[in-house]
Structures are given as C-alpha cells and as structure tokens.
A and B are shown apart, each in its own frame.
Chain A
Amino acid sequence: MGHGGESRRAQAYDGELGAAVALAQSGDEAAFAVAYRLVQPGLLAYVRGLVGDDAEDVMSDAWLEIARDLGRFKGDGAGFRGWTATIARHRALDHLRRQRVRPRPSMLEQDVLDLPGPQNTYDQAMEAISTEYALELVGGLPRDQAEAVLLRVVVGLDGPAAARVLGKRPGAVRTAAYRGLKRLAKQLGAESVTDEASQTLGESK
C-alpha cells in the first residue's frame, strides 16, 4: 500500500496478527497474547493522542471489551487493527465525556521540559523528537486531523479503514490527515510537505 513509517511496519505483521487472532478465537490464549503485543503499542499511542496520560486506563477498558467480543470479530490482521481501534476510540471518547475535558493530552508545563522549540534547526527536528513534543504537536491539531494522522501513522490504518473508525468519508479523512501532517511539518521547521516517492498522501485505496 505504500504507507510510510509505522503503517508499513504494522502491515508487515498483519499476516502474523491475522493468524494469531484466528487461533485466539478458537481459544488459544498464547495466541491472544501475541495479538495483544502486536496491536497494543499502536493503540496506546493513538489513545494517548486523544486522552493523554489516562491512555493506559482507557486501553485496559478497551481490552476487556476486545477480549469479550473477540469471538464476534471477522477479518484479517488489518481488519483487527481497525476493529480494535474502533473499540479503543469509543472507550477514549467515553472517558472524555466522563471527565468532561477536551481531547487534548495533558501535558506538563512547557518550561519544565526541555522541548525543542522552533529555533531548533530543521535537521535536528527531523532527526528525532521526544514523545512529549510529538504529543504536544499532535495534540495541537484540530481533533479530526489529529485522529486522522494518528490512525494512519501509529495504528497503520489505510484510508478506508480510518474512515470507518472515524465514521467519516474516506476523502474527508484523507484531507484531514494531509492537513495535519502539513501542519506538523511546518511546526517542525519544514517549509512544506511533499508526497514525493512515497505517494502516501495521494493514495486513496
């Protein structure tokens, strides 16, 4: 599919994931643990983008539901990622409603952290950024853009799957992801974002 970064990585494991899920559905708890380890990091990162520090709690709730409904799921590894992302998202939104807070990660005070600011060079920024900084950047996006970017980048969902998770049209999600990435790039010091070789942004599979 040509996605960059994590999505490619996630998809590389989809075969293994699909097999693990199938086994788990027939009762194999070791296989369930394999599936857990494959999807949890991405889901946790996604949820963290929505609820911040409460991400672990939200994901615990989500996994209760995932385990309970595992027998209902039908699909392959990629489908499992989409299905679990949907569940995780619902739990995250429930959490936000209970807390009546806006979906922004709870960040520490800026001056406490040694956060790279705009004065850092482009080279530095593109080399690596801290988790906190990345969360702050993503948290600063409009929520539809943040979700679109996260689902794509950390959960590794393709356009249609992300659209289904978000309940939106694929075109809208694609646009939101593009805009989000563009904005992030600017904040990191890049002048613009190009699609170039990866063709990820123009893709609409």
Chain B
Amino acid sequence: MGERQSDGGPAGRRRVHPEGTPPLQGGPGPVLGGHRVVTAADLEKLLAAALIRDGVDAGAEQRAVAAFLAARETGALRARTRRRDDWRARRRRLGSHSLRATLSMVFAGLTLSGVAVAGIGVAGSSSDGPADEGRPTGVPSRTTAPSLTEPAGPGSGSGRPDRPGTAGDTEAHCRAYEKAEGRGRALEATAWKRLTEAAGGAADVDAYCAEQLRRASAEARPEDTRAPGAGNNGASGRAGNGSSGNASDNASGNASENASGNASDNASGNASDNASGNASENASGNASDNASGNASDNASGNAGNGSDNAARGADNGSDSSDSADSGAGDGEGGATADPEGKSVEPGARNP
C-alpha cells in the first residue's frame, strides 16, 4: 500500500513505508468538520522522507576527505575563526542586538510612541534599564525634541533647534508668545526670530499672532471651543492639531499628546504645508485636513493674506478645489522662512 505513488527516481524514498507499515503516526490527521487537518510535524516528516536520501555517494565522500587531508597538510586547521565561523551558542550574532542596542531601541520606541513617563523627570532617571545604556537624557531630547524635554518654560519649547523648522511652528510660537506676554517672560530667541520673520517685523508680531491664532481657532475642529484669538491655550490640549499644539503643549507639559499627535501630524501635514509656506494653516487644520485631502488647500498658499485667510479657513474645512485655485499666487506670502520645502502634494507649490 505504500508504493502507490510513482517510484521516486533513483534511490528515492528509502524512508517510505513498505507494505504493512502504518503510514504516519496515527494515520492521517483528524477530520474536523469535514476538513482535513495535518499537523506540521507530519508534513515535515513527509517532506523529510521524500527529500532526504539516506547514505552518501562514496566518491563524493572520498573527495571531501581528500580535501580535508589537503587542508590539514597546509595547516588550514590552524586558521583563525572569523565572525561567520563562530556558531557557538549565545555568542553575539550578526543581526541580533546586543543588550545595549536593544534597550536603546526600546527606549527610543517608547519615547516616540508617547510614553511620557520616560520623559518626565528624565534628567534624573537612572532607575530603569535603559539608563544604563548611556545617555537616557540625551535620547528623548533628540528623538522627541519638542515634546518631552521642556524644562524651561513656555517660551523655550517652541523653538527647539533640533526640530525641523516646520512652518507650523509659527502658530505655536504665537501661542507661546501670548503666554509669555501674559507672564512677562521673554520668548526664546529662535521663536521670536521666526515670529518676526513671519510677521514682517517685531512691531507686527502682536497683530500677526492675533491673526494667526484667530484663524487657527476658526479652522479648528468643531470640538475646539476656545474663543478666537483669545490667548489660546496650548494647555487645553489640542490633541490632533499637529504642530500648532506642539509648542504650547510642550509648555504645558502634555508630553504624551505631543509625542503621539505630532509625529503623525508633522509628517503628514506640515511637510506639504511647509512647501507652500502656510504657516498658520499648517498648524491648524493639518491633522484632519490632510487626511481628508484638504492638504491641497494648504499647499495652495493661503498664507499671510490677512483677511483672505479667514475666509479660506472656512473653505479649508469643506472644499478642496477652490482654495487650490485661488491660492495659487499666494504662496509667496507665506513669508515663513521655512527651509523644509517638502511637499507631499502633487499640486503643492514648492518654494
């Protein structure tokens, strides 16, 4: 019964069962509800039996032994072990991570995924494993620059140099500015610089920011109920508002929001918006707008157009084609010295 299949060529299935031998352990697999189920083990045995020919070719063996003897004579047996030759157990293998690398990666992953715990109090944190791996304090500040390391205060968070200078920072800067004003603290130099650039002058920053924030509020999601222009509270936690929430959220210590919301928002919305220079709009509508396809609106360049922006703001929420057309020439007005210039929108204008 065992030889019904074709004779498998020369010296094929030696391990195949002769007459009278039960096929596999316990016979074919169980039938469950009409389905044949085979265990992996059975299948593997079957394949092994079919593929492996017992015994070796004598001539081939002789040649191999001859090669061995030749190598022995030349002293090859004393050759040094290269990395690829080291197959000892528990050696540090290629591709597997050392403890250090593994923990560093885990730590980086945690920070990026918004586990704020890692960031809060990071300065002194040496209780966790990762801390042993070198510079835990350095990691979060590098990888999640604006979000987790906010020791100084509202102003300092907004202009972190290691963060790509997304134009969307401008609104964040504005928030910090407003907050700073309220508290009598000076804005960080970088943030201030950006604001003055965007606003066209130190004296204009006030008006510029007011406008930015007002527009931002107008375009904000329905659930954002803050009054337009009123010292917008980054602290209120605009979870999804991309870069707009960054700096202020940073300042307020909403580390988790920043880490989680910003990563995607920045990637999605700000890139395209930066290209067009839509400072404020980048920040405001990106999270949802980009997803819905209104990124083209942003890219159309509705920046710096004072009164127009308010109207466009409404447009952005609903309509994608109009602003794209109308804003065609407005890109230059963005005035945000954004070096990124990245655009993911085919129709976006790259400065």
Contacts and interface: CB of A to CB of B under 8 A. Distances in A.
Interface of A: 3-7, 9, 24-27, 29, 32-33, 36-37, 40-42, 44-45, 48-49, 56, 59-60, 63-64, 66-76, 78-80, 82-83, 86, 113-116, 120, 122-124, 126-135, 138, 149-150, 152-154, 160-161, 163-164, 167, 169, 178, 181, 184-185, 188-198, 200-201
Contacts of A138: 47, 51
A80 B86 CA distance: 10
A126 B24 contact: yes
Nearest to B80: A72
B68 A167 contact: no
Interface of A is mostly: helix
B50 A129 contact: yes
Given A36-B65, A67-B64, A128-B17, A197 B23 contact: no
Interface stretch (B7-15, B175-183, B330-338): B7-15
The CB with the most chain B CB atoms within 10 A, among A4, A167, A181, is that of A4
B38 A129 contact: no
B43 A64 contact: no
A124 B5 contact: yes
Contact of A153 (B44, B64, B95): B44
Interface in B5-64: 5-9, 12-13, 16-17, 23-24, 27-29, 35-57, 60-61, 63-64
A130 B46 CA distance: 10
Interface in B259-298: none
A71 B51 contact: no
B60 A25 contact: no
Interface residues of B, number: 68
B50 to A, nearest CB: 4
Contacts of A64: 64, 67
Contacts of B203: none
B79 interface: yes
Nearest to A121: B28
A126 B71 contact: no
A47 B265 CA distance: 49
A190 B88 contact: no
Contact of A48 (B36, B44, B51): B51
B225 interface: no
A192 B30 CA distance: 11
A114 B1 CA distance: 16
Contact of A133 (B41, B45, B50, B69): B50
Contact of A45 (B40, B52, B72, B86): B52
